[in-house]
Amino acid sequence: MLLAVDIGNTNLTVGLYDGEKLTFLSRLATDTRRTAEQYAAELNQIAALEKKSMTSVQGAIIGSVVPELTGVIKRAIFFLTGCVAKVLGPGLKSGLNIRIDNPAQLGADLVAGAVAAVHAYDLPCLVMDLGTATKISVLDEKGDYRGCTISAGVALTLSALANAAAQLPTVSLEVDVCPAYGTNTVASMQAGIILGTASMLDGLCDRIEESLGTPIRTVVATGGLSGSIAKHCKRAAVCEPNLVLDGLRIIYEKNQPAIG
């Protein structure tokens, strides 16, 4: 069994793999004040509720964009499993050709998501990651990472709007049908935020496709809010919320010693 952990700015996502099959998934709040023991205890309790045992884990890998928590989670994993987790970064092979100005600056979440997309989908491919930030990764026909766009995340935008305007509430983003404009405050905010983000994503995808000079064959949506937004985009997207975890699993396997 393999334990894969994606440490994001908002959530810490944990997956347990039996081969290629994801058998356990949990999300914890990212909190840099918590100790390794606290994270280990909470994760152990959650796994027990799902009748999963961490003692069966034989390997682990971490992808992190929160450096303060990387060592904490690495220790928590050791407490739970006795395994020393691999950390996605320098010294770990990803197999991804990163063609940006400074490849070392590319976040672990973007690397892992790109690796999984290259492995599973037709190229060229765009990966829309809707988390704390909204990001679009660009993968060309060879599977090379060409760059990305970064903008404020949907939840961050909503929070800023509600906090800055006294008469505007926090609204749900979970709507199946979103009119182009609203006739009340909540519906108006949903139209602006949900359809505004979807339109931005559609427009950026069009511009990226034009810049690449070749048709985009696949668009993949991932991240905590991918299901809420991607369905409102005009450009069809495959929704894969566990793309980053799948990429971590693939990278872990790439760094295992050859047998025979």
* 109 is a catalytic site residue: yes
> Rounded to an integer, what distance in angstroms lies between the CA atom of residue 16 and that of residue 196?
35
CB hemisphere CA count around 118 (13 angstroms): 25
Give the CA radius of gyration of the chain: 19
Q: Per the omega criterion (within 30 degrees of 0), is the bond before 257 cis?
A: no
Catalytic residue among 6, 18, 31, 109: 109
**Residue-wise over 143-170: b if at least 16 C-beta within 10 A, else e?**
bbbbbbbeeebbbbbbeebeeeeeeeee
Region for 36 from its dihedrals, namely left if φ exceeds 0, alpha if ψ lies in -120 to 50, beta otherwise: alpha
Active-site residue list: 109
